[in-house]
Amino acid sequence: MPIQTRNLYSSPNGDRWLLCRGTETDRVFVRHEPNPPSGGRVSDFDIGTFLGRGPHNPEHQALLRLIATLVDE
């Protein structure tokens, strides 16, 4: 399944968070790509689960800012 991605946030330690959309299913989700020293195991989260996890870290704030651009006048 082809996936379109948009970088949300890259941490100083090399972790990346991407906003993703499956082009065939229109499923939208957040993908976490950890840095190689921490194992590099990719995780996908639906947006509600991602935003509901713990405190709002920089990656959460980045997604909220992106969402806000959709409703700015």
Beta strands (DSSP E) in 1-73 are 3-10, 16-22, 28-33, 43-46
Q: What percent of the chain has pLDDT over 70?
A: 96
Say whether pLDDT at 1 is over 80: no
Closest CA to 58 of 5, 11, 6: 11
Say whether pLDDT at 10 is over 80: yes
Q: What percent of the chain has pLDDT over 90?
A: 66
Overall domain count for the chain: 1
Give just the sign of the alpha carbon dihedral 55, 46, 37, 39.
positive
Summarize the confidence of residues 24-30 as an average pLDDT.
92
- Whole-number mean pLDDT of the chain? 90
